[in-house]
Structure 1
């Protein structure tokens, strides 16, 4: 097993993070058409989410707990030579966003789930839209359909404890050495005390296309400008991250630098489990400026499907099969919660 973890604390943290991401992995795998087992359908996967977290009509089926925000993207102009996407040359682009935690329970304590996400909708003045969903891990655990299936099985809760079996998870990692990069991240991960001081990653690669048709694969991340502080050991407020964000925004905008990392020949463009070398060239494409909370699930982001394949001209999907799977999974979740809201009159 590559890169073994040492110490019970590290192992327990890895198990917790793995459990939080497992349901997401399972949805990706089937929605992409990868799993052939007839009993494993998108309907069954979503039913499983709800069986574990409770039925919450109208909410997203993963990253269910979140809040809407709004702001602007301020382009630096540095990426305009790499992509014709107007977002990289327009001085200011309006943004609708959503901060969330992982999982299907919209009432979970903010600090109970290690996975954090930030989804954005950017609409440039040429009428085009760019949507991106980012998470705090820089990579996924696995890179193949069989790996996703194995991870789903490994993270099935034990009926006796309600939690994944650590021995079963350890066996999964031993059988899947491609998880090494993710395991290194999980072992060293220390959660920050705020959405504002968390970095968010595209995980998947995309392709920038310039005016001459030249293609440049990239991954991106949002690097927080707020200083890092670790999450307190004891947190009693179930809305800790949301309340913190509201307090910070009451004093002024929050900012992240959009950093594009440029792939070179030989880099794993189509494998989200593989990290790229740290020395790869990067470009700071601009600043995301979040200015206000737009209402927990009541604002403009509530009815947005943050499908990562909604891309403007000048940005294309890579051949990473996970991208198509994410798009399909988001569509299933969006369709179900939309129908639930319509039929029940729910206003999550």
Structure 2
């Protein structure tokens, strides 16, 4: 029986709660995070490809949230290897547009149905045989798990690459579409520690390190995009594009300070676009909108 997307989103959130538990009032993923103020300054390189207001020639303010990926807000930083960086650009007309990224360049499934099945497999404390069967049924998941398996803890939110995973379309003044994939590239060198060294830090060391780092000056990231070519997959978030694709830098994000009073009521819906940018037909991208909505509804009600 086919399940509608809102119902499937509820099942996904239910499965996350079954795996990790329920933490009242918190996000169902990336529960622990820190908000920062920022300014994004475009360099004009995007003008031939998009009319998006924040990618033209004037700087815009932005809200940034760094986070652990775990649904548990008490998770020790070292035990949550995937980190997140969500950016909400505050546009001149009062609207916003979001760019949601993690430290892995691909997603674990290419359909919402496979994602829910995977969550259920792990939540039911399935046998090794069941897990192996899952990878046989969904071989596209191996790339993400292989990358995560090789990941080592890093000691700063400010020194890692972040990937919005999905492809998007830029649209220029002529109405021409250009498929792109984003990347946030840090100004500072990627600084990775071994697990043995990382365990010497306190459980919330990333938050503390971020605050200490910004006391020395702004944290910076360059916003890059790869330009897709004919034949590149735009609707499958488990697939990476070839390394030889043209990459251009669109501007610079300067993160100035941490917000002390953080009302965690912002929904970083990755499908919230502005004129000049459009979503692809990637089913996982559109499914995230429904999942975020269910998660926000539950935490706003104190569940």
TM-score of the superposition, structure 1-length normalised? 0.79
Give a deviation string over 1:246-273, Cα, whole Å, max 9, x none: 1101101111110111110000001101
Which stretches in structure 1 are left out of the alignment for 5+ residues?
Answer: 1-29, 36-40, 159-163, 342-348
Query: Does residue 191 of structure 2 align to residue 229 of structure 1?
Result: yes
In structure 1, the partner of 2:283 is 321
In structure 1, distance between residues paired with 2:13 and 2:288: 14
Out of 221, 242, 250, the residue aligned to residue 285 of structure 1 is 250
Q: 1:48 to 1:196 in 2, by over 3 A?
A: same
| Cα distance between partner residues in 2 of 1:31 and 1:129 | 28
Superposed CA offset, 1:277-309 (max 9, x none): 0000111001111111113xx426x21110111
Aligned to 2:86: 119
SS of structure 2 residue aligned to 1:196: helix
What does residue range 47-66 of structure 1 map to in structure 2 within 5 Å? 47-66=14-33
CA distance in 2, matches of 1:64, 1:340: 14
- Kindly state the Cα deviation for residue 201 of structure 1 after the two structures are TM-superposed: 0.6
CA spacing shift, 1:314–1:132, aligned 2, 3 Å: same
- Quote the offset at 1:167 in angstroms: 4.8
What is the CA–CA distance in structure 1 between the aligned matches of 2:113 and 2:96, rounded to whole Å?
33
Give the counterpart of 1:143 among 89, 102, 110.
110
**Is the 2:166–2:181 Cα contact (8 Å) retained in structure 1?**
yes
What is the aligned partner in structure 2 of residue 156 from structure 1?
A: 123
Alignment of 1:7-46 (within 5 A): 32=5, 35=8, 42=10, 45-46=12-13
Structure 2: segments with no counterpart, 5+ residues = none
Question: Residue 84 in 1 paired to residue 51 in 2?
Answer: yes
CA distance in 2, matches of 1:307, 1:31: 19
Q: Which residue of 2 aligns with 1:270?
A: 235
- Deviation string 1:135-170 (CA, Å, 9 cap, x unpaired) is 111001221344324422332253xxxxx7555433
1:307 is aligned to 269
Question: 8 Å contact 1:260–1:285 — kept in the other structure?
Answer: yes
CA distance 1:53–1:73, change in 2 (3 Å): same
Is 1:130 matched up with 2:97? yes
Paired residue secondary structure (1:276): coil
**Counterpart check, 1:241 vs 2:206:** yes
Match of 1:345 in 2: none
Measure, in 2, the Cα distance between the counterparts of 1:184 and 1:235. 26
**Deviation per residue, 1:27-64 (Å, 9 max, x gap):** xxx783585xxxxx71x543454455444322111111
Structure 1, 123-132 or 185-194: larger mean CA deviation = 185-194
**TM score, norm. by length of structure 2:** 0.90
Flag the 1:252–1:31 CA change in 2: closer, same or farther, 3 A: farther
Corresponding residue SS for 2:301: helix
- Post-superposition offset of 1:128: 3.0
Number of residue-to-residue matches in the alignment = 299
Distance in 2 (CA, whole Å) between partners of 1:113 and 1:102 is: 6
Query: Distance in 2 between the 1:330 and 1:33 partners?
Result: 11
1:103 is displaced (CA, Å) by 1.9
Q: 1:264 to 1:109 in 2, by over 3 A?
A: same
Aligned to 1:107: 74
Residues 225 and 316 (structure 1), Cα distance of their counterparts in 2 relative to 1, 3 Å cut: same
Of 89-98 and 238-247, more deviation after overlay is shown by 89-98
| Shift in Å, 1:211 | 0.6
